Amino acid sequence: MASKSKYDAIVVGGGHNGLVNGAYLAKAGLKTLILERRHLVGGAAITEELYPGFSFTTFSYALSLLRPEIIHELELTKHGFMPLLMPSSFAPTEDGDYLLLGQDKDENHHQIARHSKHDADAYDAYGHMMEQVVHAIRPLMDSIPPDITSKDPEERARLAAIGSYLADLPPRVLHNLVRLLTGSAADILEDYFESDIMQGWLASSGIIGTKVGPRSQGSGLVLLYHSFGEHDSAYGAWAFHKGGNGGFTQVLARAAEAFGAEIRLDSTVDHVLTKEGRATGVTLEDGTEFSAKTVVSAVDPRRTFMQLVDPRELPSELVEDISRFKFQGTSAKVNFALDANPTFPGLEGRRDQYQGFINIGPSLDYLERAFDDAKYGWYSSRPYIDGCIQSNVDPDMAPPGKAVMSNFIQYAPYHLRESDWDTEKENLGDVVQARLEEVFPGFGDLVLHREVVTPLDIERVTGLTEGNIFAGEFLAPQMFFFRPAPGWNQYRTPIEGYYQCGSGTHPGGCVMGAPGRFASQQILGDLGKK
């Protein structure tokens, strides 16, 4: 047998967190190998030319919550990092009107006042409340949480420090934080807003990627999480990377390689090799072996604990925790190559409304009804759509004059009641296209190519269990101390030298990179390198 190739560290999975993790390990001097199953890196953050001249962001479509530290520490601007601004938000109403918000505070005031003068003022108050809460708990999101199960005095002291920190917050900020963490998005939004469009537009952030409705307890947490984006000093601001999120993961790959990491594509890891309770390397499906004392799983918790290693090597309590960890993916994508920008009646000839997100979720009732379908095992008959016509932001994404449109769809539950996704795939595409036709008359005539991505497709292509875009639901019992399981929230596993760094770990999903970064800190600390 040929001798195994030797590395200091092997990262399983070349998604954005795997790349971030591998880049940090390589930067610290470890001989690092990143293994990616597919023919391209990026995981769910990829860009593909599915129709000649049109770049599709098949899955993840926006540079959402990326931590600014990563940009600097990994020197991403050297490798082509370019976060294009998405300056507007366009939300059509049920009656053919719209809400169009941009970068100018006063203009936004007028826009909202068209729908409700009350809400126009409330918007600033709401924004300030959210910013205060985000700012207050950012230090907790920006650090590795203590192990709540540990008796170690140091961990206990860190736990106590969090208690003191929270107790020192202004009482109102703390209370708003608890309301967000435990309540529904609707409860909070109805306190501030009276118009359907403001409630619906803002509540959309409370459901994205999660099997909750805006009136479900827990949607407040999702709403809060999505406000953590910190793009160029504006909390909650999202950007769009040049070339889509695939453009971003290519930047990450170049950075990782510049630090000396090796990336091997088309390399499916079959399992992690262990010996006497510690990791020694990995074996690929084709039998190739690589050895390393550190192995990092960038894939989701189900695969990390149940597939890459033999669960019998793990404590049964952890195995049980992972078995009941909720994935239940509920999102889909329907992407289009279009012959031109669609037309919104009343805004003919303009395109500034297409420079950001297009939010089709005009009221709380609309979103809640869309959720109702999912509760009973079916996709929404009138779905929530988070669209963006990215070629308006990055003209490189489509040929001149043409357009490429990404549509995030909810709800589309992984488990269908009386059918399966292979049967329903194009039907879902038809439902979404029909809804877009209502908003943009003539939409169907513009379609050159349509790509429907069901939760099953997400799982099959990216490996995300049940197609959950966050590698595990954003539910309170699956966050912070408990992500992915009590006692295992600090990126280590019961197998020595085997670590986890995917979105199933703290803080969680979105193109944030924090899990990959924190995991590298933990690994380097354990190796005495930091």
Q: Is 85 in the site for other proteins (CB under 8 A)?
A: yes
Q: Judged by CB under 8 A, which of 83, 145, 502, 504 binds other proteins?
A: 83
Helix, strand, coil fractions of the chain, as percent rounded to 5? 40, 20, 40
The amino acid present at 95, given as its one-letter code, is: D
Applying CB under 8 A, which of residues 94, 107, 124, 154 lies at the interface with other proteins? 107
C-beta of 76 vs 409, nearer to other proteins: 76
Do 49 and 283 contact (CB within 8 A), yes or no?
A: no
Q: CA 89 → CA 109, 237, 359, 396, distances in Å?
A: 14, 11, 7, 21
CA angle 478, 483, 485 (to 5 degrees): 90
Length of the chain: 530
Q: Is 135 in the site for other proteins (CB under 8 A)?
A: yes
Tell me if 530 sits within 8 A of 524, measured CB to CB. Answer: yes
The reply on whether position 242 binds other proteins by CB under 8 A is: yes
- 85 Cβ neighbours under 8 A, 6+ residues apart: 239, 240, 393
Q: How far is the CB of 459 from other proteins (least distance, A)?
A: 34
According to CB under 8 A, which one of 235, 313, 437, 487 is a site residue for other proteins?
235
SS3 of 55, please?
A: strand
CB of 254 to other proteins, least distance (A): 16
Instruction: Please state, in angstroms and rounded to a whole number, the distance separating the CA atoms of residues 448 and 43.
Output: 26
Query: Which strands, in side-by-side order, build the sheet including 89-92?
Result: 98-101, 89-92, 357-360, 384-389, 403-410, 331-338, 447-453
292 within 8 A of 7, measured Cβ to Cβ: yes
Query: Binding other proteins by CB under 8 A: which of 8, 31, 87, 181?
Result: 87
Applying CB under 8 A, which part among 37-45, 206-214, 363-371, 389-397 lies near other proteins? 389-397
Among 352, 420, 422, 438, binds other proteins (CB under 8 A): 352
| Cα separation, 451 vs 57, whole angstroms | 10
Among the listed ranges 35-43, 52-60, 150-158, 392-400, the one in contact with other proteins (CB under 8 A) is 392-400
| 391 touches other proteins by CB under 8 A | yes
Interaction mask 158-197, other proteins, x per CB under 8 A: ----------------------------------------
Q: Which of 40, 50, 84, 476 binds other proteins (CB under 8 A)?
A: 84
Residue selected from 51, 61, 81, 290 as contacting other proteins according to rule CB under 8 A = 81
In the list 58, 210, 280, 392, the residue contacting other proteins (rule: CB under 8 A) is: 392
Interhelix angle 364-375/196-203, rounded to 10 degrees, is 50
Stretch of 100-108, 210-218, 299-307, 420-428 contacting other proteins, by CB under 8 A = 100-108
Q: Which of 29, 68, 96, 315 binds other proteins (CB under 8 A)?
A: 68
**Cα angle: 514, vertex 515, 521; to 5 degrees:** 90
Residue 355 or 490 with smaller CB distance to other proteins: 355
Q: How far is the CB of 317 from other proteins (least distance, A)?
A: 39
DSSP 492: B
Shorter beta-carbon distance to other proteins: residue 84 or 258? 84
Give the residue among 45, 461, 38 at the shortest CA–CA distance from 244. Answer: 45
Residues ≥6 apart with Cβ < 8 Å to 400: none
# chain residues binding other proteins, by CB under 8 A = 33
Q: Is 82 in the site for other proteins (CB under 8 A)?
A: yes
The residues that bridge with 415 in the sheet, in sequence order, are: none
- CB 102 to other proteins: min, Å: 4
Which of residues 12 and 112 has its CB atom nearest to other proteins in the complex? 112
Choice from 5, 31, 102, 339 touching other proteins (CB under 8 A): 102
Q: Kind and range of the H or E element at 221?
A: helix 219-225
For position 71 contacting other proteins by CB under 8 A, the verdict is: yes
Task: Compute the distance between CA of residue 272 and CA of residue 282 in angstroms, rounded to an integer.
Answer: 4
Q: Is 488 exposed, middle or buried (0-12, 13-18, 19+ CB in 10 A)?
A: buried
Nearest to other proteins of 57, 210 (CB atom): 57
The binding site for other proteins (CB under 8 A) comprises 68-69, 71-72, 76-77, 81-85, 87-88, 102-104, 107, 131, 135, 230, 232-233, 235, 242, 352, 355, 391-392, 394-396, 400-401
